[in-house]
Amino acid sequence: MIHTRVIVVKNPDEMGKAAADLFETAIAAKPACVIGLATGSTPLPLYRELIAREKAGKIDFSRVRSANLDEYKGLAPDHPQSYRKFMQENLFDHISIKPENTIVPLGLAEDIPAMCQAYEDQIEDWGGVDLQLLGIGHDGHIGFNEPEDTFPGMTHEVKLTDMTIDANKRFFDSIDDVPKAAVTMGIGTIMAAKKIVMVVTGADKKEILRKTFWGPVDPQVPSSILQFHPDVTLICDEAAYPF
């Protein structure tokens, strides 16, 4: 581990508060800042805390821009399991962020490479991501960058691994309904963020968390690349902390 700051908290609610502190600070310093957002169960306590803090007048999202990490291929934005829908329901519909200032890759795009390039261009036009939120998959995926022989660069289409499909089937009626492909920011997109905060909770993430920050940097553990980022804060609960 080279640069990573590690904050160990008692439980997921405390993780939400500690991560919200970073977002509050970033938005106070730069009201039109660009935040990178993630889906999954882990960020939910953070999103609840961000909603509460805006209601309490501590954060103002009205000028913030946001770019999400990923989206399932083939799901419409209003599909109940799409990540766009997840973001609307769990965050965007409850804060003052402007709809036009939120972007999520379009899983239904006919020309996926062109959509990916436009996604990269939009982030660049905004001046890059100031603070990127990440969860982690049990196989070390960040966004939907699954274990591979090399680290993928920019936003692109990926096939999901059986492990990821299995982990995500809890949100669908059956495993056959889980999309087999997705569009994700690449490792290069993620590493270009000025600051990164990774949130990890639960004992089932302990082993992959150890490999991520205390093992070799290896594209078979995509998250391990974060050891080379100069400004990463890891916020994990006691159950996930490997030591």
* 166 a catalytic residue: no
Q: Which residues 168-207 are close enough to bind ligand PGA by CB under 6 A?
A: none
Report the nearest approach of ligand PGA to the CB of residue 133 (Å). 11
Report how far residue 143's alpha carbon sits from residue 135's, in angstroms, rounded to the nearest whole number: 8
Q: Which two tokens stand for residue 207?
A: 């082993």
The structure tokens 């007048």 sit at: 57
**Of 49, 71, 120, 139, which is the active-site residue?**
139
Burial class (CB in 10 A: 0-12, 13-18, 19+), 210: middle
Question: If binding is defined by CB under 6 A, does position 40 make contact with ligand PGA?
Answer: yes
Are 120 and 153 spatial neighbours (Cβ–Cβ below 8 Å)? no
CA dist list (Å): 142 to 126, 178, 197, 200: 22, 18, 12, 12
The structure tokens 């209003």 sit at: 78
**Of 54, 70, 71, 130, which is the active-site residue?**
70
Shorter beta-carbon distance to ligand PGA: residue 30 or 79: 79
Q: Which residues 87-106 are close enough to bind ligand PGA by CB under 6 A?
A: none
Report how far residue 87's alpha carbon sits from residue 102's, in angstroms, rounded to the nearest whole number: 10
Q: How far is CA 85 from the centre of its chain?
A: 15
Report the nearest approach of ligand PGA to the CB of residue 155 (Å). 16
Report the nearest approach of ligand PGA to the CB of residue 178 (Å). 12
List the beta bridge partners of residue 7. 235
Question: If binding is defined by CB under 6 A, does position 42 make contact with ligand PGA?
Answer: yes
Over the window 110 to 149, marking each residue x when it contacts ligand PGA by CB under 6 A and - when it does not, the resulting string is -------------------------xxx---x--------
Question: If binding is defined by CB under 6 A, does position 41 make contact with ligand PGA?
Answer: yes
Query: Residue with CB nearest ligand PGA?
Result: 40
Residues at the interface with ligand PGA (CB under 6 A): 40-42, 135-137, 141
**Which residues are catalytic, by number?**
70, 139, 141, 146
